[in-house]
A = this chain, B = another copy of it.
């Protein structure tokens, strides 16, 4: 279990290797990488500014990760979330989960991403030709979160 909030980029292959280092009991590793898209709602995006709440962000990510580990049989997990100014194509977020079985690894990764979307104190501002604007929270993301309560 490990969480990083950083301005720097990350290396998915290296993070995955670190998670599995010296182990032969892992059956499945799932990774999710989120990237800055060059378009949003039909408008070209020049860059994205990610603001966060230092102190609370780390706490929130650790809590989210602990919840996933309590709920699924995970052998390892990793969350990296960047902040600052990012260009289209840049990596924003990485979630890794390792488990003996594929279903647990997939579900835990989806759970972590659903929580990060709506419960981690990050705010995105997209730069367009018409100026910068804050990304609205999507109702679909809030709905995605609810499915984890029902189970």
Contacts and interface: CB of A to CB of B under 8 A. Distances in A.
A31 B28 contact: no
A35 B30 contact: no
Most buried by B among A16, A26, A36, A39: A26
A14 B14 CA distance: 11
Q: Bin chain A's interface residue count.
A: 35 or more
A53 B23 CA distance: 30
Interface string A90-126: 0000000000101101100110010000000000000
A11 B37 CA distance: 25
Interface string A30-52: 11111111110000000000000
Contacts of A12: 12-13, 16, 31
Sort A-B residue pairs by CB-CB distance and give the 5 closest, nearest first: A13-B13, A24-B88, A24-B89, A24-B38, A31-B31
Given A30-B31, A106-B113, 15 more contacts: A12-B13, A16-B33, A20-B89, A24-B36, A24-B37, A24-B38, A24-B89, A25-B37, A26-B89, A27-B34, A28-B32, A28-B34, A29-B31, A30-B32, A106-B110
7 contacts: A23-B89, A27-B34, A27-B35, A27-B37, A30-B30, A31-B33, A32-B105
